Structure 1
Amino acid sequence: MTDPKTGDAGPRGGWTCPIREGAHRHPEAEALTFAGSAWTYRALDAEVGRWVRALEDRGVGAGDRVALLATNHVASVCLFWALGRLGAVLAPLNARLTRVELAPLVEDVEPRLVLALGALLDRLPGTEPLESFVAPHLTPSLTCGPLTEDAPRVVLFTSGTTGRPKGAVLTEGNFRASSRASAANLGAHPAPRWLGTLPLFHVGGLAMLTRTAYEGGALILHDRFDADAVNRAIDAQGISHASLVATTLERVLDARGDRPVPPTFRLALIGGGPVPVPLLARARAAGLLALQTYGLTEACSQVTTERPGEADGRTAGPPLPGMHVRIVGEDGTAQGPGEEGDIEVRGPTVMAGYWKRPDATRDVLRDGWLRTKDVGVLDGHGRLTVLSRRTDLIVRGGENLYPAEIEAVLANHPAVQEAAVVGVPDARWGEVPVAFLALRAGQPMPSAEALDAWCRQSLAGFKTPARFTWVDALPRNAMGKVERTVLRQRSIG
């Protein structure tokens, strides 16, 4: 079997490292830029070979895990591809976690080697510095073993908002399938140039890293998100694609002012939840096509995405080609269009399982379907609207309330920068929704009465928050997800 994009061997013979393939097919094409430096496929292939040599010298081989604590860095890119050539597995750790949070994760994956950027070494005692792991003049290794479809590539820990973090095992086949499905949805591009601001310890960052290599494109990697740096890259480096969230999209537009986006920029994928309709309209007025998406770590990033020619910002779009999404009721039966229920996903991007967690794997993977524990609804065109995580569901007097629906209405208010809604106990109704809001800079703070009236224009009365609380910023965990437990405690206290 041959990969239709690259022509390299498929699962039977195993896939070749795409950086090695690129070095043969288009050696002088740009593969990566970072911190003012650039690497062609030929140069990156040689650098990855040096990393392979250094890892071989340390006894790293097939099946071994290497844990990594780092923000975005060229060394992380080389390590990822080098481990693939050896059949070893990367366990990227969230650079925002504390020493206490990191220790059990490292213990869980039992790594042969632990590397960290110098600035983060104190988080993991005994860790080796990433930047100096490879000697400058080390001779590249020619080792480049093939990878089969089921070969593990990463153990990627989930955020742990509902318990101890679990390591999702994502395979070479998962990443290849995700890349193919996304490309089929977005349309052909001869050499896409993806802006890499999402962290490489996040599935979204790894998805960009892999898809650019599979498609013969370039990753324009930034060590962190900076709106001015993003705009400079869009204007001067021919960026064609980007992945953002609503807050970073808004910051990019704020920093651009009234400058239009150049025609080289094709589109941005927007994840992390619903995007305010006015923000999408503002992006399109600037010439930036923003597509809403729904995805999760366990499905190797995207599951559904708006189609470029049909996007209206009202849903997270239909399933990507090759993916299947269904909505099921409490009894497990499939729901029809417009009927709410649990979101389940099936397709080649679904993970192999959770690392050393067979019970958790059996609980979430049943009959080929991934039980996401998110709540949503499909419309008559198969487009998905995500309503809530099951654990965030609010039941008021027997009525189900979905925080995402209420948050989307509040986020469209001109004075609201961001919003989160949680359920708190109530003697009469069982639970009532309470909203936490961050004020948009330069806007006057509206009264509770004004916010109540705003909500009632779009929501039934029982969905309108019982209270509105202003905060400087919403509390978030290390993965950037809103810590609703903290907000519930604040509401009760």
Structure 2
Amino acid sequence: MNFTCPIREGASLWPEQEALTFAGRRWTYRALDAEVGRWVGALQSRGIRVGDRVASLATSHASSVFLFFALGRLGAVHAPLNARLTSAELAPLVEDISPRLTLALKALVDRLPNAEPLETWADAVEAPSSTCESLEEATPRVVLFTSGTTGRPKGAVITEGNFRASARCSAANLGAHPAPRWLGTLPLFHVGGLAMMTRTAYDGGCLVLHDRFEPESVNQAIDAEGVSHASFVATTLERVLDTRGDRPMPETFRLALIGGGPVPAPLLARARAARLLALQTYGLTEACSQVTTERPTEADGRTAGPALPGLEVRIVSPEGEVLGPGREGDIEVRGPTVMAGYLNRPDATREALRDGWLRTRDMGMLDERGRLTVLSRRTDLIVRGGENLYPAEIETVIAAHPAVQEVAVVGVADARWGEVPVAFVVLRSGQALPEDLDGWCRRSLAGFKVPARFLPIDALPRNAMGKVERTVLRQRA
């Protein structure tokens, strides 16, 4: 099947409908189509052709939207790099990409050799190009680098078909919406941000793009700009609720997808009281964002939900045996959202993709209803005296304590048990480390799962993708 640019389609079907807002500016589909066309002309003037790769370094910015869709009209590939990385971290990624062109926001241009300013790059072109090549499902659209928590980052190649399928599967779960307005606070160098951007365009909606997460701006967008959908993690969800004083959401706001791990039950209760439907999810870059999501009519916050319609999730043992409900093992995913492979890494691709299944390297289990509970990454597993301990299970219990803001549990070496769990706890403002944390855990966890130590910490260390750096915590413990 062949596809055309969704912005071009939108300009034909609903030209005056709002497509993008950013920093006080607004673009209808007609205006956005013309702007993308200008960028196509600028790219053509530099000789960018089918299959060429263009690297960019930017926080979320309207220019990144123009660039993404313009490259699609030429059949070229976008490689958005993480704006939080240092020059030293970026260098090997650029080497892997071998870009024909490198662009960066002016504030970041010094981090990339030969980078040209992104914001003004197409200003010299006045007339939009009419070029709009059709794309096949297998056409590569982006190269997105994994976070590299277990080694050098790998560039996952995500195709047009992957993005289309991700939008289709998500819509089948969430239900139709005539013109969704997605709040874009996830960065556009992240698969979640790109999936949100493309999903909105395919659905004829509007991306309300912010350059960063600020709870005051989020609430203003929800209350005054008709935002219908958003994506948060537990900490940002809590900040949104804190800032609005748990004021109920307007009727225009439909739901929020919650990623990044389990959400404490008290926080979900707060969200429900504020008329905010929060759906827990599980996803990864290699599967183009969402894999499982709670169903809106069945959300109870206990799992990450079942596989999205059109996708399959299974649990397998280290020996490859497919495991039944309630049994713990490796999470594998199959379906049209799974990446084409890793750029220039055939061995890694063969290791990750086996017989059509993506081996996620995460561990979990399914219940009788096919709902997924994510237990840990394989590298985060704690083995205490032969017993497998999953940080997510322990963290969920500790995070429910009223004095705890957030928590991370890691395994540290122990002469007697091999490993024992240690909990790093970020406390709420004005709170001291509770003396009853051990007893709190023992009410819900077997004794061998209770952390050997509870250590207060001002903030959890995170890598450039926002994931907790457990290696740093292990060293500190």
TM-score (norm 1): 0.96
1:221 to 206, 209, 227: 209
In the alignment, the residues of structure 2 paired with residue 395 and residue 223 of structure 1 have an alpha-carbon distance, to the nearest angstrom, of 41
- Give the total of aligned pairs: 477
Deviations 1:204-262 (A, max 9, x none): 00011000000000000000000000000000000000011111000000000042100
Could you tell me which residue of structure 1 aligns to residue 146 of structure 2?
158
Could you tell me which residue of structure 2 aligns to residue 418 of structure 1?
406
1:382 to 370, 373, 379: 370
Say which is worse superposed, 368-377 or 124-133, in terms of deviation: 124-133
For residue 445 of structure 1, report the CA deviation from its aligned partner. 2.6
1:456 to 418, 432, 442: 442
Question: Aligned with 2:472: secondary structure?
Answer: helix
Could you tell me which residue of structure 1 aligns to residue 468 of structure 2?
482
- Contact conserved, 2:42 with 2:125, CA < 8 A, in 1? no
In the alignment, the residues of structure 1 paired with residue 120 and residue 178 of structure 2 have an alpha-carbon distance, to the nearest angstrom, of 35
Question: Aligned with 1:228: secondary structure?
Answer: helix
For residue 298 of structure 1, report the CA deviation from its aligned partner. 0.2
For residue 402 of structure 1, report the CA deviation from its aligned partner. 0.3
1:24 to 12, 29, 35: 12
Aligned residue identity for 1:116: A
Give 5+ residue unaligned stretches, structure 1: 1-10
1:275 to 257, 263, 266: 263
Question: Aligned with 2:158: secondary structure?
Answer: strand
Aligned residue identity for 1:476: R
Question: Aligned with 1:176: secondary structure?
Answer: helix
1:261 to 240, 249, 260: 249
For residue 444 of structure 1, report the CA deviation from its aligned partner. 3.4
* Superposition pairs of residues 46-195 of structure 1, within 5 angstroms: 46-135=34-123, 138-195=126-183
Could you tell me which residue of structure 1 aligns to residue 344 of structure 2?
356
Could you tell me which residue of structure 1 aligns to residue 395 of structure 2?
407
- Contact conserved, 2:41 with 2:125, CA < 8 A, in 1? no
Deviations 1:80-122 (A, max 9, x none): 0000000000000000000000011011100000000000011
Deviations 1:118-165 (A, max 9, x none): 000111132100011112552100000000000000000000000000
Deviations 1:439-469 (A, max 9, x none): 111333312xx11000001100000000011
Deviations 1:263-305 (A, max 9, x none): 1000000001111111011001001000000000000000000
Could you tell me which residue of structure 1 aligns to residue 272 of structure 2?
284
In the alignment, the residues of structure 2 paired with residue 344 and residue 223 of structure 1 have an alpha-carbon distance, to the nearest angstrom, of 34
Deviations 1:282-332 (A, max 9, x none): 001001000000000000000000000000000000000000000001210
In the alignment, the residues of structure 2 paired with residue 411 and residue 458 of structure 1 have an alpha-carbon distance, to the nearest angstrom, of 12
* Superposition pairs of residues 431-446 of structure 1, within 5 angstroms: 431-446=419-434
In the alignment, the residues of structure 1 paired with residue 86 and residue 46 of structure 2 have an alpha-carbon distance, to the nearest angstrom, of 27
Q: Is 1:469 paired with 2:455? A: yes
Give 5+ residue unaligned stretches, structure 2: none
In the alignment, the residues of structure 1 paired with residue 49 and residue 444 of structure 2 have an alpha-carbon distance, to the nearest angstrom, of 58
In the alignment, the residues of structure 2 paired with residue 369 and residue 243 of structure 1 have an alpha-carbon distance, to the nearest angstrom, of 27
Aligned residue identity for 1:379: D
Question: Any runs of at least 4 consecutive aligned residues in structure 1 with deviations exceeding 6 A, and if so which?
Answer: none
Could you tell me which residue of structure 2 aligns to residue 314 of structure 1?
302
For residue 478 of structure 1, report the CA deviation from its aligned partner. 0.5
Aligned residue identity for 1:360: A
Question: Aligned with 1:418: secondary structure?
Answer: strand
Question: Aligned with 1:308: secondary structure?
Answer: coil
Deviations 1:176-214 (A, max 9, x none): 000000001001100000000000000000011000000
Q: Is 1:334 paired with 2:322? A: yes
In the alignment, the residues of structure 2 paired with residue 443 and residue 298 of structure 1 have an alpha-carbon distance, to the nearest angstrom, of 40
Could you say if the C-alpha distance between residues 365 and 137 of structure 1 is closer, same or farther in structure 2, counting changes exceeding 3 Å? closer
- Contact conserved, 2:90 with 2:112, CA < 8 A, in 1? yes
In the alignment, the residues of structure 2 paired with residue 267 and residue 233 of structure 1 have an alpha-carbon distance, to the nearest angstrom, of 14
Question: Aligned with 1:212: secondary structure?
Answer: helix
Question: Aligned with 1:433: secondary structure?
Answer: strand
In the alignment, the residues of structure 2 paired with residue 328 and residue 137 of structure 1 have an alpha-carbon distance, to the nearest angstrom, of 54
Aligned residue identity for 2:169: A
2:189 to 186, 189, 201: 201
Aligned residue identity for 2:302: R
Aligned residue identity for 1:452: D
TM-score (norm 2): 0.99
- Contact conserved, 2:383 with 2:420, CA < 8 A, in 1? yes
